[in-house]
Chains A and B, each alone.
Chain A
Amino acid sequence: MTNRRNFLKGAGALALGSAFPFDLAFGAEPLTVGVIYVGSRGDYGYNQAQAQAAAVIKKLPNVKVVEEENVPETVAAQKSMEAMIEQDGATLIFATSFGYFDPHVLKMAAKYPKVRFAHCGGLWKSGNPANISSYFGYIDECQYLNGVVAGHASKTKKLGFVAAKPIPQVLRNINSFTLGAQSVDPSITTHVIFTGDWSMPVKEAEAANSLVDQGCDVLTCHVDGPKVVIETAEKRGAMSCGYHASQAALAPKGYLTGAEWDWATPYKLLVANAQTGKPQPNVLRGGLCEGFVKMSPYGAKVTPDARANADAVKAKMVAGNYVIFKGPMKDNKGGSAIAAGTGYAQTDIALESMNYLVAGVVGQI
């Protein structure tokens, strides 16, 4: 209970504290890092991938991490970031959902110019507040490798893809997965079902079941939490390739491999810069080569041939000289997607407005 005496004691301690700044006397102040997630940290997907990186920086010396999950993309996101700054003294904030950027991160970054805001999604452009660092990875490289492995494993030559929305990032993954599989056998098709939103567990289960019913024997997905899709595939006896984080534990029989984020790379860099006072970059991007993405270990059903093939392609990607999107390439309506002689490096901005599905994908945008 608070009584007057306790209050006076507390006030006295407070006054003493401000008179003698103990922090300065005891060496480096710990860096407080705030992390907000749009979903649950244990979703076996998008948010778990971020939480794994947060767990890595938590173990670094002189770093304190405060976390908040299930923060919707509303004023709640702004208030949570602000509370981390005002109540916890955070000076580096990881806003991990794509949808936090506009307007929430933009607003908070303008309001707190001394705090560094790291946003996942690679959206920063010149003119935006300079205290934002945007990080993102070329995960389509891993989806391509998923496709290579799936192409080897599939017997029906039909692959299934459960996708959230027909936006450029998702289309790029569907296309890469398909191209990877077609590099093994050009007759392979990928059947796509869009669920309409990032987290729709019931629709995801329906889509996965429907794909298996149609004869697809390897499933993968691009939704926030792949748990439902991978579990459904396992239950139906189909194989699966993971996304975002490793779902190997959910499908011990059918899990082939998976496209994972390796967010610890940008997280550690941003924390190190904050601690040493080095200037922070505004845009941080990378693929397999830079260690921003990685593959899940191969499952039992991956044959030595498939491993050798995937490893060979991966080695080229790590070396930085593999082009996934090169012409001539047709879209699935018969038109030309990429002209002959044109190739897009991973960093090419043209890939970020992708609005087609490549030939061999069964589905509509």
Chain B
Amino acid sequence: MSVSLSPAHGRPRRLPAGVARLLLAVLPALPTVCAIVATLVLFGAFLLAQGQPAADALGLIAKGAFGSSFAWQNTLLRAAPLMLTALCVALPAQVGLIVIGGEGALALGGLAAAVVPQCLPHATPWFVATPLMAIAGMLAGGLWISAVGAMRQWRGVNETISSLLMSYIAIAVFKFLVEGPLRDPASLNKPSTLPVPDAMTIGSLPGLDVHWGLFWGALACLGAWVLVRHSTLGFAMRVTGGNVRAARLVGLPVGGLALAACALGGASAGLAGMFEVAAVQGSANASLLSGYGYAGILVAFAARQNPFAVIVCALMVGGIEASGSLLQRRLDLPDAATLVLQGLLFANLLAWEALGPRLAAWRVKLQAAALEATSVSLERTHHV
């Protein structure tokens, strides 16, 4: 028996329903997968052109990011703050706002958290101090990014530009306070706030060399995912992001939703700052401004603003950073090689986004195939 699969002969080929459903399920990940494969191929070619052993390098990337328990912890630790700063982009994106000022919210959140212990009696137990620090950090970050949302909503100021400029202002305020009124007089050559007392610092997750910021970062992403995908509020946000006129028409409080999304995003970045202060640096100082806020933009776009995918993408970027360390030490590659890899990844993610419309067409076809296959099998059962 010969069956022609070519669409040129009569009926187009028919996919089995199961396969069609499977393809439907993985279809949204297709651009990301293509982007990652293309990135690795291009990066390999780049290394070959530089006369570097591409295969070894790609092997080292895998090894440095996920090759051992040490590598995993390295990756997880680097990913932790990125999950929170990525939410500062991904949440406002639900209402259609592109906010890129997470670095400033992180700085102010960290500063606010660092001030709290100074206002508390020294013997305050950690279970009181830590939540207060977290609240202070989230409030500072949340209010800062809310201001961006408010300017957009009521004054028509472009939120992308204003959030970036507000970030510069936040950093300037941060430096002014850390080097001026809030400076620990003992911090001579590295201006810092007074150190957080040991009893109020945050330790590691049990059995791991990774601080609690990872747990709360992942939890925040999951919470944001539930909010966005499975709540009325999240649905209203997405309607606003999809078509603001339609949202107004059906009576959604567009301004309030935008503010809420910005406040939650800013609060996440502020929380990241709080963890940097309480779990890593031990005080607020310029080391806090190390680009987590900007790396969060990359993570959020890579995740296509999906809070759940943020977790995966933060791990990916954390892994690239961890493996960049190994690439430098083993192959003597300059750090710029890691930047090339990150740049290629970002460019590819955006480029493969162009698959979008085609993807929609494929989805329709696959849905049709799935339906058709189902109906055909129903027909058959009927005839039998």
Contacts and interface: CB of A to CB of B under 8 A. Distances in A.
A88 interface: yes
A71 B287 CA distance: 11
A319 interface: no
Interface residues of A, number: 37
Interface string A73-116: 11110011011101110000000001101110000000000000
B290 interface: yes
A352 interface: yes
Query: What DSSP secondary structure best describes chain B's contact surface?
Result: helix
A41 B190 CA distance: 22
Contacts of B287: 72-74, 99
Interface in B186-202: 188-191
Interface string A162-204: 0001111100000000000000000000000000110000000
Nearest to B179: A165
Nearest to A355: B188
A70 interface: yes
Contacts, number: 83
A72 B321 CA distance: 11
B230 interface: no
A75 B328 CA distance: 17
Interface residues on B, range: 20 to 34
B103 interface: no
A251 to B, nearest CB: 25
B70 interface: yes
A199 B31 CA distance: 37
A237 to B, nearest CB: 33
B57 interface: no
B329 interface: yes
Nearest to A40: B335
A67 interface: yes
A68 interface: yes
A353 interface: yes
A88 B329 contact: yes
Interface string B219-254: 000000000000000000000000000000000000
B78 A75 contact: yes
Contacts of B286: 99, 197
B335 A165 contact: no
B258 interface: no
A66 interface: yes
Interface of B: 70, 74, 77-78, 175, 179, 188-191, 276, 280-282, 285-287, 290-292, 321-322, 325-326, 328-330, 332, 334-335
20 contacts: A66-B330, A68-B325, A72-B291, A73-B290, A74-B280, A79-B322, A79-B325, A83-B70, A83-B326, A83-B329, A84-B329, A88-B329, A99-B285, A101-B190, A102-B190, A103-B280, A167-B191, A168-B189, A169-B189, A197-B175
> 4 tightest CB-CB pairs across the interface, nearest first?
A73-B287, A70-B335, A72-B290, A66-B329
